[in-house]
Structure 1
Amino acid sequence: MVALPNFSAAAGLVVKAEGSWQKGKVETDAKRLATEKALHSAVEKAIRLILGEQEKEKVKKFLEDQVYGADPMKYVLNYRILSAGWITHFDTLDRTEDADSTQPFGIEKYHVWIEATIDEQTLREDLRELIPPEKRLITEVLVVILGLEDYGTFESIKNSIEELSLVREVSYDSFSSVKTTLKVAVFGSGHDLYEKLREKDTSLIIIPAGLQKVIITPDRGY
């Protein structure tokens, strides 16, 4: 398996992991499957770093639904193999259906040790509903308010934003009747802000514009 770097995310978590697979009739299958297990293990380690050990049930469900059985490279920016090779295990009698039955003593497994860089931004985005607010990354989101007709409407929108639990701070960037821009520090992303604000204030037309930008227009009913 060749891992090509993925430059779509700015930051990554570097973790080390191990994977192994029992020797079967086709040697290359064991090497490929051991590498995939190591990659899955690396993603699992990154998830535990983000969520913490106390969220074991949430981690287990996410792994079952989103990680195991899926392409592990979804969350892996790149990886390198630190070490790899065959090891004979004499302390187990477990055999897979594809195991090499010609080896009478012990079970031979291919082990891979890797160092992987995990796409933290993508992983956090998929985990956003599971991450407690205090563990979320603080992101500065640009909120663009269009079509303001009076200061009272602006104050109402600003108050709606400030009352959200994921909002840490709101500051002015620019102010005019045509376009007003706020800088909003949130625990999470612009998508999180969009979802929460849409639930809270149905009098606004809210448009997501990426992970770090939200556009708001008062709904005037015409």
Structure 2
Amino acid sequence: MKALILAILFVVSTVLPAFTGVAGATMAVKAEGASNRTNDATEEKRIAIDKALKNAVTEALHAVVKAEGLALDKSLADKEILSSPRSYILNYKVVSEGWVTHMGPTPSIVDSIPTERDAGGVELYHVWIEASIDDGAIRASLGRVMAGPALSDVFITVLDVTEYQAFSALLASLRRIALLNGLTYGSFQRGRVTLKARSAAGLQALSDRISKEAPAGYLVLSGGSSTIVIKADH
């Protein structure tokens, strides 16, 4: 038991204060981008890749928003997250590229199309990529965007979790919740750990989200106006 207590103290004192997302979590995404003809092959490829990377981050963002059950304003997402998509890209590779002639409507993967188009259609330089997205960074940015200026303190009391692995798994699940900002260690007693975070979401919405994300075997209860209790259901 002494070793367990020391292990938990180490986790909450070193991992939680640095919390910004899900460390090491990645999301694999396939995406496509395109560029108009510019008579500069290097520039055409750069534009197409930039568009593909933005599309990859957009897809990853939509996946997180859906998982969190959120409604995200598109203009806010464009301004705060999608304006710098490369900051969320861990790595990528081009799997295919080349010119494609479009006879019908031009696909949305290109930002603009020539004002004039002849009977031969419009040629676009396409790039197909596979990208690894920083899931933790996406969630951290989403949490900041959704929080806005109206943040309130939330206290999460964890009861009767005495196994180190179970405690670590529970922490990992809390890190995946974008609406919890700045998760830190509050206090520690035997069988009782208090965590502190800030959120713009209501307590009931947070409780419901934690219930969905936490591993099996926990009861999630409201403990007051600003407290959520997570209790091991032995």
TM-score category (smaller protein): 0.5 to 0.7
Partner of 1:79: 92
Query: How far did residue 171 of structure 1 move?
Result: 5.7
Q: Which whole-Å CA distance do the structure 1 matches of 2:59 and 2:73 have between them?
A: 10
Q: Tell me the number of residue pairs that the alignment of Structure 1 and Structure 2 aligns.
A: 146
Partner of 2:182: 191
Instruction: For 1:87, give the aligned amino acid.
Output: V
Instruction: For 1:196, give the aligned amino acid.
Output: R
Query: How far did residue 169 of structure 1 move?
Result: 2.5
Q: Which whole-Å CA distance do the structure 1 matches of 2:183 and 2:88 have between them?
A: 20
Q: Which whole-Å CA distance do the structure 2 matches of 1:68 and 1:96 have between them?
A: 24
Q: Which has the higher contact order (CA 8 A, sep 6+)?
A: 2
Cα root mean square deviation, aligned = 3.8
Instruction: Give per-residue Cα distances to partners, 1:1-40, cap 9 Å, x unaligned.
Output: xxxxxxxx51211111111111123232221111011100
1:25/1:67 CA distance change after superposition, 3 Å: farther
Partner of 1:3: none
SS for the counterpart of 2:58 is helix
Percent of pairs with identical residues: 28
Structure whose residues are more often helix by fraction: 2
Q: Which whole-Å CA distance do the structure 1 matches of 2:70 and 2:181 have between them?
A: 24
1:68/1:47 CA distance change after superposition, 3 Å: closer
Q: Does 1:37 align with 2:51?
A: yes
Instruction: Give per-residue Cα distances to partners, 1:170-203, cap 9 Å, x unaligned.
Output: 4688xxxxxxxx9884723671344439xxxxxx
1:131/1:95 CA distance change after superposition, 3 Å: closer
SS for the counterpart of 2:24 is coil
Structure 1, unmatched stretches of 5+, are 1-8, 133-160, 174-181, 198-222
Q: Which whole-Å CA distance do the structure 2 matches of 1:34 and 1:45 have between them?
A: 16
Q: Which whole-Å CA distance do the structure 1 matches of 2:49 and 2:135 have between them?
A: 20
**Correspondence list, 1:75-114, <5 A:** 75-92=88-105, 95-96=113-114, 105-114=120-129
Instruction: For 1:26, give the aligned amino acid.
Output: D
TM-score between the two structures when normalised by the length of structure 1: 0.53
Instruction: Give per-residue Cα distances to partners, 1:16-74, cap 9 Å, x unaligned.
Output: 11111111232322211110111001101111111118645x1523431123442x220
1:84/1:91 CA distance change after superposition, 3 Å: same
SS for the counterpart of 1:96 is coil
Structure 2, unmatched stretches of 5+, are 1-22, 107-111, 148-152, 185-195, 200-234
Query: How far did residue 129 of structure 1 move?
Result: 4.6
Q: Is the CA contact (8 Å cut-off) linking 1:19 and 1:41 kept in structure 2?
A: yes
